[in-house]
Amino acid sequence: MKHLISLHDITNEEFNKILTLAGKLKAETKAGITHHLLKGKTLAMIFTKSSTRTRISFETGMYQLGGYPMFLSANDMQLGRGESIYDTANVMSRFVDGIMIRTYAHSDVEDLAKYGTVPVINGLTDLLHPCQALADFLTIYEHKGKLEGLKFAYVGDGNNVAHSLLYAAAKAGMDITVATPKGYECNEEIVANAKDDAKSTGSTIVTTYDPLEAVKDADILCTDTWVSMGQEAEKAERVKIFSPYQLNAELAKHAKDDYIFLHCLPAYRGYEVTEDIIDGEHSVIFDEAENRLHAQKAVMAMLMGD
């Protein structure tokens, strides 16, 4: 595994290894055990898209691994003034041991990996969010004791989060149904890739317009904001279109009695999810948020460690 750009690019074994190492590092951290696996290493963190959880979890994780996290905003980079990705990747590769980027265009991440010589981690693009999916599946394993054979239900926008969940489910052997409104479906190529990945694990990949079909007998319920960063002008229209896809008590009653609820946050209570669900007994959103730290530490250790 040279980079983490898409979960589709890694093997099933690498996917499982990340989760196993994440669990180990989490247990060691809780026990007060130091694991300076990246002592003397530097991670450059490029943010052209702002963040709370991504910055804090990567900075803290790199510190706990004994390395140095270097925050770089768009204003700190010559990229914002027109320098090419080719030049940036080559120069940064001479200075640092790894690059994490959170940006809009997925091609930026791919080009950094193509032209640079150090590992590149996708902290989020408009197409994919692999680190979030890893945290989600670590959380599921902690609460369910397994991944294979469960049913994951995602209801809402067919966005970057949904795309990476499709890939993660396929790698884990978990069935997944994604319900979106018409016009907001998941990327067709990603759905096809996920179905291809699922052939080796036996998981079922389903896309539908019916939220009830998605949540029926589901072990995991998940949603995301209806209005992602950069879509603020579409808010009124999106709220109207997505209202039938709200995760509420009426919809959740069709899931299994012991379902868990996931949301990558930030959440907008009363929109994509009601307060009784996100703040209720089935919600594990703060375990999920914490697991961004541990999953990303595993990724950094595997990519940047000796």
Catalytic residue list: 102, 129, 132, 224, 264, 292
Residue 241 contacts by C-beta under 8 Å, 6 or more apart in sequence? 181, 183, 184
d(Cα 215, Cα 259) in Å, to the nearest integer?
A: 10
Residue 296 contacts by C-beta under 8 Å, 6 or more apart in sequence? 57, 58, 61, 121, 131, 134, 135
d(Cα 26, Cα 58) in Å, to the nearest integer?
A: 14
Between vectors from CA 285 to CA 283 and to CA 288, what angle results, nearest 5°? 130
Q: DSSP states of 79-105 as a string?
A: GGGT--HHHHHHHHHHH-SEEEEE-S-
Cα separations in angstroms, 259 against 37, 152, 298 = 36, 10, 27
User: What are the structure tokens assigned to 240, written together?
Assistant: 């109207």
d(Cα 61, Cα 40) in Å, to the nearest integer?
A: 14
Q: Which residue type, as a one-letter code, is found at position 146?
A: K
User: What are the structure tokens assigned to 284, written together?
Assistant: 């594990």
SS3 readout for 211-230: HHHHHCCCCEEEECCCCCCC
User: What are the structure tokens assigned to 271, written together?
Assistant: 């929109």
